[in-house]
Amino acid sequence: MTTTVKTKKLSLVQAVTDGLRTMLAEHEDVVLLGQDIGKNGGVFRATEGLFEQFGEDRVIDTPLAESGMIGTSIGLAMNGFRPVVEMQFFGFIYPGFNQLVTHATRIRARTLGRYHVPMVIRAPYGAGVRAPEIHSDSMEALFTHVPGLKVVVPSNPYDAKGLLIAAIEDPDPVLFLEPMKVYRAGRAEVPETKYTVEIGKAEKLSEGEDVTVLAWGAMVPTMKKAAKNAEKALGISCDVIDVRTLYPLDKETISESVQKTGRVVIVHEAHETGGVSGEIASLINDTSFLYLRSPIARVTGFDTPVPVFSLENDYLPNEQKIERAIEKVVRF
């Protein structure tokens, strides 16, 4: 017997909206908080229509005060709600960092499991949209270093809805990063009904034998194009992996791939020093060192603030940089 799942074509940001609508309809304890997310629908319209559908008690406009938004959400979460709080941009989260790191991520341990904080912080992030300073930051590594906090990054509409629902159902805090560059880059079939994508599970996008290439968020489409170019121009086949969850990392999928190919290229738009690529390299060292046939290569942003928009294309990893790294590790 086969079952047909109804789908609709959505962009990534529309899939976020669909995930929020699904959970608001199913669970009365889900509430949304953020600046201008009500009648205005949010700066990227991720909550468009939800205020009218669910009302001002479920879709709540807040003052411009990220610390207050996160602090209020912690209180709501400890008292039976499942708040989803929106940062207008990831770079605006810094005033709320104290609430997140000092309280939200410690409540379970602090109360010996009596209380927990089932809250989601959504944050549009990344460069490539010609935004001004602080609107394009990729500081995900700061948060993967915080015990008690999961960090997820979808790269496509299907994963966006499934991961968001999984995040809202998670009993502990989840940072949900939404890559702005691919918010409306294309549409894909997304189930109309509820489903989840497992947090902590990477996805292998294509099979190869020569090198493992890993990325997340807006770098995934760029990585896929570079891998195809490498195969076509150089005859190099790539295991292409969308990491999807930055904490906890999917050790099994990453190590299995590396132990097959023996070569690795890690791509992220965040700064190189202290980036998540360093943690992945450490994971590979722990699990697969003796399988390596060449040094691990990283293709990243530079160790500078994200530059003004006229220099963004030079700052970000591109297909050519990734392809050169793929060739370098294979020809080593």
Strand partners, 177: 123
Active-site position among 135, 145, 268, 271: 135
Output the furthest CA–CA distance in the chain (Å, rounded). Answer: 60
H-run or E-run covering 323:
helix 319-331
3-state class (DSSP) for residue 2: coil
Q: CB within 8 A of 122, min separation 6: which ones?
A: 16, 34, 46, 84, 85, 86, 87, 164, 176, 178
H-run or E-run covering 297:
strand 297-301
135 is catalytic: yes
Say if CB 90 and CB 125 are below 8 A apart. yes
Give the separation between CA 168 and CA 72, rounded to whole angstroms: 17
Write out the catalytic residue numbers.
135
